[in-house]
Structure 1
Amino acid sequence: MQTETGAATALITNDAVVLGLLAAILALVFWTSSLSSKLVGRFYAIFPPILLCYFLPSLLTTFGVVDPETSRLYFIASRFLLPAALVLLTVSADLPAFVGLGPKALIMFFTGTVGVMIGGPIALLLTSWIAPDLMGAGPEAIWRGMATVAGSWIGGSANQTALYEIFEAGPDVFSIWIAVDVLVANVWMACVLWIAANQKKVDRILRADVSAVDRVREKAEAYEVEHARIPVLKDLVLIFGVGFGAVGLSHAIADPLSAWFGAHVPIAQRLSLDSSFFWLVLVATIVGVVLSFTGARRLQGAGAAKVGSLLVYVLVATVGLNMNIGAVLDSPAYFLIGGVWMLIHVALMIGMAFLIRAPSFFLGVGSMANIGGAASAPVAAAAFHPSLAPVGVLLAVVGYIIGTAAAWFTGLVMMQIAAGAG
């Protein structure tokens, strides 16, 4: 949807300048967070650095300094920096330790899926009672746009596009719900980043059993300490070569694979198998896992995970550009509906986490694997600890696979609700 802060009115349209601004914001946040002032310490206890790295770029969009729709920075970050970060964060992964995390990760993920599937119809039902004039009819019916959001919030953008085609949503309702999708999901993403920065407090509230997650984290930290060394130029070149060499390999495999599945497998679209981004994330993760069984794992001691984390922070900043808080003023009722929908999802997640004593890590990553998909789940996981990023990727892949079918069923339920309201 073209925002009011479009290309003609955005103050800065040069991506090089925007990238410089984002780099300066990241540097400013990290520099100020390292200051020894008590006031600064209290401020960052409330607003953790990663949250500011996400929120401050959104102000550039909200106040018309940057137009994310014309900028290519997010596309570049998600297609180049994200797979490199996945490889560098996964190369030191301990797969047996991930298996030891138990079933709670999957339970929380599927709880998030159910939350989206239940939340949409409930929000629509409330709308039909309170504001029936919003329901619409034909291609512009509200339920059609909501079905595309369900595809995005269970799987990802590829699933959203599939639902757009399946339910033949009109362009106006689709554009409104894209804005709702982005803003509401990004607000919750900000909350997840806050949870990650305050995970010990949240875990105490949830009465969580964090032993399994702590074992993975401690084992990764012990490995890094044992093999830590001051990196020399050769180490940095090797880290760069492994990360971006894997990016090239992933693109070389992902593009023809997605084209082949799209041409030869009838259900490819419903399973996101025709999405090159799906294969890009999956192949990059597989490459990282394979390398973790080789000598490349020793790059962890030279700072591979720290370089991967830097790339994640750049991605976080570009994701923040997509959040235009002022967009709420354009269609407040639709954002209210989306907010109710998200609150139902979150309430179900928190309730299940409390019930099974799941750590906040599973709550945040299980949710973002649905709501944010492959671009956000590893970011959320890495915010809890860099060694946990692969868990976010694997759950997001599950979301891609089931996203279209689950959202299709949700759309059918919402269609019946809309028909009954009419």
Structure 2
Amino acid sequence: MQTEHASALIQNDAITLGLLLLLLAGIFYTSNSSSPIFKKFYSIIPMLLLCYFLPSLLTTFGIVDGENSQLYFVASRYLLPASLVLLTLSIDLKEVFKLGSKALIMFVTGTFGVIIGGPLAILITSAINPDLIGGAGPDAVWRGMTTIAGSWIGGGANQAAMYEIFKPSDRLYSIMITVDVLVAEVWMAILLIGVGKAKQIDKFFKADASSVDHLQKKMHDFSLKTARIPSTTDLMVILSIGLGVTGFAHFVADVIVPYIEIHAPSLNKFSLTSRFFWLIILSTTIGIGLSFTKLRNYEGAGASKIGTIFIYVLVATIGMKMDITKIFDNIELFAVGGIWMLIHVILLLIVGKLIRAPYFFLAVGSKANIGGAASAPVVAAAFHPSLAPVGVLLAVLGYAMGTYGAWLCGLIMQAVAP
């Protein structure tokens, strides 16, 4: 494994970042081209999907070392919190709450789909090939699957918690991480394709997306009302707001987490000992707080545009972590993960149809589980940048429920495993 990554053509993150930005610039430029060819192409393939998929080719073909690169860590720990601040700066919280209960219902449905999907995937595959879902002790496949459940309901912190609770072998754990990432990324690609077909999907669901459209229009109108040509001072203030709050969030997280670990270690099950959890919570909360101040007028100078750029850089680094050829390693276990994900998706489609939920709620409700705070705002922002906070709020709920849901899923999988 190490030899393969050591053979990557480019291992310098500065060069890799330059390549990613060149790719993003090319995608943005062509997507805004007046050329009929590009207009037709982007009417079929969403721009965001390319920002996600093309970087994965750099890893797949050994051009960059996506696994060992630190760019995703930097983007998720620095740019993501800053983007959440800048995207929530002008949010109208009252309008977000007016979106109603369907967003929450779809989120809970997604969680339930993961909890029952794992055991059902074991039952289905063991009926076809009993040897596949086997193993004993730390190598029991169900133990490794609990870590996927932690990731798919909450996030990395919940995944680590399942690793500690059910103790799969390191070999099995590394395989499950690959299954987790690739199956989740394929589903994300499908969701992004669906963004371009949202109106048709809403028509099929007989969904009323007026609340989503109203929030999107209100945010857009506010942006136009306060719009101005940004000065250097404006841009410096915007960057200081985003990155300054990010720095403060890191400072507070570095104080809170050690305190909880020493004085209240039992709170680990709520992800309260995860620095990333606190980064997301603090950045979002402070951003929402600032939306009640005059700082929200910096939206007119491009606050959300800078936040969106940060999000797209994050998307490129997420895509870079995916090596498509890994699908062919342990292909049988990818089939198990695929069945598991399919159950999650089918349940979302059934409930979405029954309650006539807009596609926005289905997509964001799913990614708030499978992907958490790093992916849910990306999918939400694909509809409109101002909708990113909706994804964040649901993802935070996923962190809180992740350990409990995954633990329950693990117990059921243990009971049904052959």
TM-score (norm 2): 0.98
Tell me, in whole angstroms, the C-alpha distance in 2 between the residues paired with 1:225 and 1:34.
20
C-alpha distance after superposition, 1:128-168 (max 9, x if no partner):
22122121111011000101100000000000000001001
Other-structure match for 1:209: 208
What is the CA distance between 1:93 and its match in structure 2? 0.5
Tell me, in whole angstroms, the C-alpha distance in 1 between the residues paired with 2:245 and 2:196.
30
Q: Which moved more, 1:125-134 or 1:370-379?
A: 125-134
The one-letter code of the counterpart of 1:101 is L
Any stretches of 5+ residues in structure 1 without a counterpart? Answer: none
The answer to whether the Cα contact below 8 Å between 1:197 and 1:383 also exists between their aligned partners in 2 is no
The answer to whether the Cα contact below 8 Å between 1:5 and 1:67 also exists between their aligned partners in 2 is no
Trace 1:142-157 onto structure 2 (pairs within 5 A).
142-157=141-156
Other-structure match for 1:124: 122
For 2:58, which of 57, 60, 70 is the aligned residue?
A: 60
The answer to whether the Cα contact below 8 Å between 2:157 and 2:274 also exists between their aligned partners in 1 is yes
What is the CA distance between 1:198 and its match in structure 2? 2.9
Tell me, in whole angstroms, the C-alpha distance in 2 between the residues paired with 1:323 and 1:204.
33
Give the secondary structure class of the aligned counterpart of 1:414.
helix
Other-structure match for 1:380: 379
Alignment of 1:318 onto 2:317:
yes
C-alpha distance after superposition, 1:389-417 (max 9, x if no partner):
11111111111011001100100000011
C-alpha distance after superposition, 1:345-399 (max 9, x if no partner):
0111111111111111111110000000111111111111111111111111111
Tell me, in whole angstroms, the C-alpha distance in 2 between the residues paired with 1:38 and 1:251.
46
What is the CA distance between 1:208 and its match in structure 2? 1.1
Trace 1:189-200 onto structure 2 (pairs within 5 A).
189-200=188-199
Other-structure match for 2:231: 232
Distance 1:3 1:360, change over 3 A: farther
Tell me, in whole angstroms, the C-alpha distance in 2 between the residues paired with 1:95 and 1:343.
34
Other-structure match for 1:279: 278
Tell me, in whole angstroms, the C-alpha distance in 2 between the residues paired with 1:332 and 1:96.
47
Other-structure match for 1:19: 17
Tell me, in whole angstroms, the C-alpha distance in 1 between the residues paired with 2:225 and 2:361.
28
Alignment of 1:73 onto 2:71:
yes
What is the CA distance between 1:267 and its match in structure 2? 2.2
Alignment of 1:106 onto 2:104:
yes
The answer to whether the Cα contact below 8 Å between 1:83 and 1:280 also exists between their aligned partners in 2 is yes
Structure 1 ranges of 4+ moved more than 6 A = none
Tell me, in whole angstroms, the C-alpha distance in 2 between the residues paired with 1:325 and 1:48.
20
What is the CA distance between 1:53 and its match in structure 2? 0.4
Tell me, in whole angstroms, the C-alpha distance in 2 between the residues paired with 1:208 and 1:244.
38
The answer to whether the Cα contact below 8 Å between 1:153 and 1:370 also exists between their aligned partners in 2 is yes
Tell me, in whole angstroms, the C-alpha distance in 1 between the residues paired with 2:156 and 2:213.
33
Tell me, in whole angstroms, the C-alpha distance in 1 between the residues paired with 2:23 and 2:253.
33
Other-structure match for 1:405: 404
The one-letter code of the counterpart of 1:386 is P
What is the CA distance between 1:257 and its match in structure 2? 1.1
Distance 1:204 1:3, change over 3 A: farther
Give the secondary structure class of the aligned counterpart of 2:4.
coil
Q: Which moved more, 1:345-354 or 1:19-28?
A: 345-354
The answer to whether the Cα contact below 8 Å between 2:44 and 2:196 also exists between their aligned partners in 1 is no
Other-structure match for 1:334: 333
The one-letter code of the counterpart of 1:209 is D
Tell me, in whole angstroms, the C-alpha distance in 2 between the residues paired with 1:399 and 1:243.
24
C-alpha distance after superposition, 1:240-288 (max 9, x if no partner):
1101101111101112212222222232221100000000000000110
What is the CA distance between 1:62 and its match in structure 2? 1.0
Tell me, in whole angstroms, the C-alpha distance in 1 between the residues paired with 2:403 and 2:2.
28
The one-letter code of the counterpart of 2:178 is A
Q: Which moved more, 1:104-113 or 1:262-271?
A: 262-271
Q: Which moved more, 1:314-323 or 1:189-198?
A: 189-198
Q: Which moved more, 1:30-39 or 1:146-155?
A: 30-39
The answer to whether the Cα contact below 8 Å between 1:224 and 1:300 also exists between their aligned partners in 2 is yes
The one-letter code of the counterpart of 1:72 is Q
Other-structure match for 2:347: 348
What is the CA distance between 1:4 and its match in structure 2? 6.5
Alignment of 1:137 onto 2:136:
yes
Alignment of 1:218 onto 2:189:
no
The answer to whether the Cα contact below 8 Å between 2:17 and 2:71 also exists between their aligned partners in 1 is yes
Give the secondary structure class of the aligned counterpart of 1:60.
helix
Give the secondary structure class of the aligned counterpart of 2:415.
helix
Tell me, in whole angstroms, the C-alpha distance in 2 between the residues paired with 1:246 and 1:198.
36
Give the secondary structure class of the aligned counterpart of 1:269.
helix
Tell me, in whole angstroms, the C-alpha distance in 2 between the residues paired with 1:249 and 1:351.
43
Give the secondary structure class of the aligned counterpart of 1:344.
helix
Q: CA RMSD in A?
A: 1.1
TM-score (norm 1): 0.97
Tell me, in whole angstroms, the C-alpha distance in 1 between the residues paired with 2:329 and 2:104.
37
C-alpha distance after superposition, 1:27-62 (max 9, x if no partner):
111111122222221211111111000000001111
For 2:49, which of 48, 51, 65 is the aligned residue?
A: 51
The one-letter code of the counterpart of 1:81 is L
Distance 1:4 1:405, change over 3 A: farther
